[in-house]
Chain A
Amino acid sequence: MEPISMITGKAVVLPVENIDTDQIIPARFLKVTDKSGLAAGLFEAWRYRADGTLNPDFPLNRPEAAGATILISGRNFGCGSSREHAPWALQDYGFRAVIAPSFADIFRSNALKIGLLPVTVEQTVYDELVAHYAVDPQMHLTIDLAAQTVTLPDGRQISFPIDAFSKYCLLHGVDQLGFLLNQEALIAEYEATHPQPVVTTAYSRGKTEEQGNDSMSA
């Protein structure tokens, strides 16, 4: 994963609350077995009209939104399903950060894993950004991950929270699986000292009777 430190770019505002992952990318785009090309499905029902033509009124489709890398949205962004396709699609479209008053838990966790930065701001800051964007659709913002700040158009810096571990991983381009793989000794110790409640491989039609409880055999 590429390290992230500063994100400076054009913002686009999608002033809707509770944007769910079915809006971000509808399920019919999830039949892929890789991560590429998901931008095609991003906000598909909003970006296109029923006849398949581009909806010119949708904020992402306005000419001034071209090249935007920061998405600003209403609270509880990314609620709904656990599909990582949602942050993949946003990233594939070109977004590097999402700013919102709050995020759904799984979306935030997924976004942090792939380097799409979720930035939580106060509702009042969000309202200010929406108002500013209304008069300046070319609004640019700078997000400094190391300092955990967003520089607003008027030059004010406001700080945002981020989990220390996720921040470390993003700044250094470290992926979290590497950290887990390094815990091998502890994991093995846990396995040796804890009984396992179920053994799924004991499944073969009608044979699950033979499965013992607490068996440690792999």
Chain B
Amino acid sequence: MSKPRTLFDKVWDAHVVRPETPETPAVLYIDLHLIHEVTSPQAFTELRQRGLRVRRPDKTLATMDHSTPTTPRNHLGIIPVVDPMAISQLEQLRKNCAEFGIPLFELGDENQGIVHVIGPEQGLTQPGMMIVCGDSHTSTHGAFGALAFGIGTSEVGHVLATQCLLQRKPKTCAVRIDGRLGPGVTAKDIILALIAKYGVGGGTGYVFEYMGEAIRSLSMEERMTICNMSIEGGARAGMVAPDDTTFEYIAGRPFAPKGADFDAAVARWRTLPSDEGAVFDHELTLSASDLKPMITYGTNPGMGIPIDAPVPRPEDMPDARSRAALDKALAYMGLEPGKPLLGHPVDVVFIGSCTNSRLSDLRQAAQFFRGRKVAPGVRVMVVPGSQQVKRAAEAEGLDRIFKEAGAEWREAGCSACLGMNDDKVPPGKYAISTSNRNFEGRQGPGARTMLASPLTAAAAAVTGVVTDPRTLLN
């Protein structure tokens, strides 16, 4: 019998074009290459300079999401772009896609959206695939049992030209999450708690495979939330073994196999989960049953605490380095050590991003807006991850719930996640954000970001202060 293999091993092995040697990395074949306007232009320039073509436009798909505005459409149904640099970047992508024959979900298209939302939604993301994108949150697609990770622009050029990538094999890490989540505690809280426990560098060099009772009971959208933030724990990729939940999600989506092809695909996908006795290089654990809603107080996603806990005190830190890091973070955030975050005023609430902008996230958030008003002085942006999510949410009336409460219902895109379009958090202001990064200035210069789940964000939106969402549950 052959050696038991992990899910990661199986996907890796199936994509080796040329095996790794001590002298050279493995050449891996890429099944799906997603591109967006920010990290691709220089790669196309390189291609042109060298007289190369895109080898497989049929394995490439582009969207516009990062520098696009999310302002509601005008009376002509158009989303106007006013930033000249954004216009030129979007124009460039349009031109590149046209010249090289790459399908593009452009601004205004019914399928446009955040790159990591559209892949799964279109059924492009499937188990066992190798997926890359010039974007670190490509790890999201690992929720389907794909091996998916972010690459740099040089590598975007490599994949465009050869459909291949040079990689050294990473190590594997089993992330066991046992137990069940309590009411008001979500997938976002799992991943924030995991990163708080093991740190932002804890997964460096590893590919995570999330497993355990808690993971199996999660929906695909929840699994995506967890895999999305693998990179925040330092792991380049996170994976979940495909199961019936996965197959049900994929069935019937535009790019999913149909009929007998689908059955054959499912039969193949069922062979992907890690074999009994497969060995991982490392293991991390977390109990979901003990978790409370999480929130971050600092300037990296590992600086998170249960929502009712006090902000850590520098004097309680184990060493001088972590004391210095905490001092710096608290000075930026303007927070007092030892005091709870509960009750802290909030200026902006952002519900969106590739972590939490799918239909289930919006449904969760909507339950707290229903019949309530946004607290005075708070700006609330609700930004669906894609045009499809937007339409689905509107079909069930979620947009009306948000708007009636006084929240902004916007067009699909990355929005306030990264401060590169018009949606920003003003300097010194406090935001509760369902996105994945609370780095200094991430949501705009001087912005103070607290990461949390859609439930916790919605609770703050209607109370105006950091609130334990469990107190608002019916």
**Interface residues of A, Cβ cutoff 8 Å to B:** 15-18, 20, 22-23, 26-28, 30-35, 45, 50, 74-76, 79-85, 87, 102, 104-106, 109-110, 113-114, 163-165, 168, 176-177, 179-181, 183-184, 186-187, 190-191, 194, 196-203, 205, 208-209, 211-214, 218
Inter-chain contacts of A82 with B (CB < 8 A): 39, 134-136, 138, 150-152
Residue B335 at the chain A interface, CB threshold 8 Å: no
Is B154's CB under 8 angstroms from A176's CB?
yes
Given A31-B85, A190-B29, A201-B103, check contact A181 B161 (CB 8 Å). Answer: yes
Is A200's CB under 8 angstroms from B59's CB?
yes
Residue B437 at the chain A interface, CB threshold 8 Å: yes
Q: Which of B126-156 contact A (CB under 8 A)?
A: 126, 128-129, 134-136, 138, 150-155
Is B166's CB under 8 angstroms from A203's CB?
no
Residue B23 at the chain A interface, CB threshold 8 Å: yes
Residue B3 at the chain A interface, CB threshold 8 Å: no
**Interface CB pairs A-B, < 8 A, 7:** A16-B328, A22-B440, A33-B88, A45-B440, A81-B150, A83-B152, A191-B29
Is A202's CB under 8 angstroms from B255's CB?
yes
Residue B61 at the chain A interface, CB threshold 8 Å: yes
Residue in chain A with minimal CB distance to B303: A18
Contact partner of B27 (CB less than 8 A), chosen from A87, A109, A186, is A186
Inter-chain contacts of B151 with A (CB < 8 A): 82, 106, 109
Is A180's CB under 8 angstroms from B27's CB?
yes
A180 CA to B30 CA in the complex, in Å? 13
CB proximity of B83 to chain A, nearest CB, Å: 7
Given A181-B162, A201-B101, check contact A33 B136 (CB 8 Å). Answer: no
Contact partner of A114 (CB less than 8 A), chosen from B154, B236, B300, is B154
Residue B289 at the chain A interface, CB threshold 8 Å: no
Residue B58 at the chain A interface, CB threshold 8 Å: yes
**Interface residues of B, Cβ cutoff 8 Å to A:** 14, 17-18, 22-25, 27, 29, 31-32, 38-39, 41-42, 45-46, 50, 52, 55-61, 66-67, 83, 85-86, 88-89, 92, 101-103, 110-111, 122-124, 126, 128-129, 134-136, 138, 150-155, 157-158, 161-164, 166, 168, 170, 200-201, 204-205, 231, 234, 236, 254-255, 257-258, 261-262, 264-265, 300, 302, 321, 324-325, 328, 418-420, 427, 437, 439-442, 445-446
Inter-chain contacts of A105 with B (CB < 8 A): 170, 204-205, 234, 236
A31 CA to B69 CA in the complex, in Å? 13
Residue in chain B with minimal CB distance to A163: B168
Q: Which of A74, A102, A165 has the most CB of B within 10 A?
A: A165
A74 CA to B200 CA in the complex, in Å? 13
A177 CA to B157 CA in the complex, in Å? 8
Residue in chain A with minimal CB distance to B93: A33
Is B200's CB under 8 angstroms from A106's CB?
no
Is A209's CB under 8 angstroms from B126's CB?
no
Is A180's CB under 8 angstroms from B29's CB?
no
Inter-chain contacts of B258 with A (CB < 8 A): 209, 213
Inter-chain contacts of B110 with A (CB < 8 A): 205
Is A164's CB under 8 angstroms from B23's CB?
yes
Residue in chain A with minimal CB distance to B419: A27
Contact partner of B234 (CB less than 8 A), chosen from A79, A83, A198, is A79
CB proximity of A35 to chain B, nearest CB, Å: 6
Residue in chain B with minimal CB distance to A75: B201
Contact partner of B254 (CB less than 8 A), chosen from A74, A76, A104, A203, is A203
Contact partner of A113 (CB less than 8 A), chosen from B61, B102, B152, is B152
Is A50's CB under 8 angstroms from B103's CB?
no
A91 CA to B24 CA in the complex, in Å? 25
Is B60's CB under 8 angstroms from A200's CB?
yes
A27 CA to B168 CA in the complex, in Å? 29
A197 CA to B172 CA in the complex, in Å? 25
Instruction: Identify the 5 closest CB pairs spanning chains A and B, nearest first.
Output: A213-B261, A110-B152, A82-B150, A27-B420, A31-B85
Inter-chain contacts of A209 with B (CB < 8 A): 254, 258
A216 CA to B57 CA in the complex, in Å? 13
CB proximity of B52 to chain A, nearest CB, Å: 8
Given A35-B42, A82-B135, A213-B265, check contact A186 B204 (CB 8 Å). Answer: no
CB proximity of B362 to chain A, nearest CB, Å: 24
Q: Which of A17, A102, A209, A212 has the most CB of B within 10 A?
A: A17
CB proximity of A74 to chain B, nearest CB, Å: 7
Inter-chain contacts of A84 with B (CB < 8 A): 39, 42, 134, 152-154
Contact partner of B92 (CB less than 8 A), chosen from A22, A33, A75, is A33
CB proximity of B60 to chain A, nearest CB, Å: 6
Q: Which of B17, B52, B86 has the most CB of A within 10 A?
A: B17
CB proximity of A165 to chain B, nearest CB, Å: 5
A25 CA to B470 CA in the complex, in Å? 38
Residue in chain B with minimal CB distance to A127: B321
A85 CA to B136 CA in the complex, in Å? 13
A32 CA to B73 CA in the complex, in Å? 25
Is A79's CB under 8 angstroms from B200's CB?
yes
Inter-chain contacts of B52 with A (CB < 8 A): 181
A80 CA to B154 CA in the complex, in Å? 17
Is B201's CB under 8 angstroms from A196's CB?
no
CB proximity of A131 to chain B, nearest CB, Å: 12
Is A102's CB under 8 angstroms from B168's CB?
no
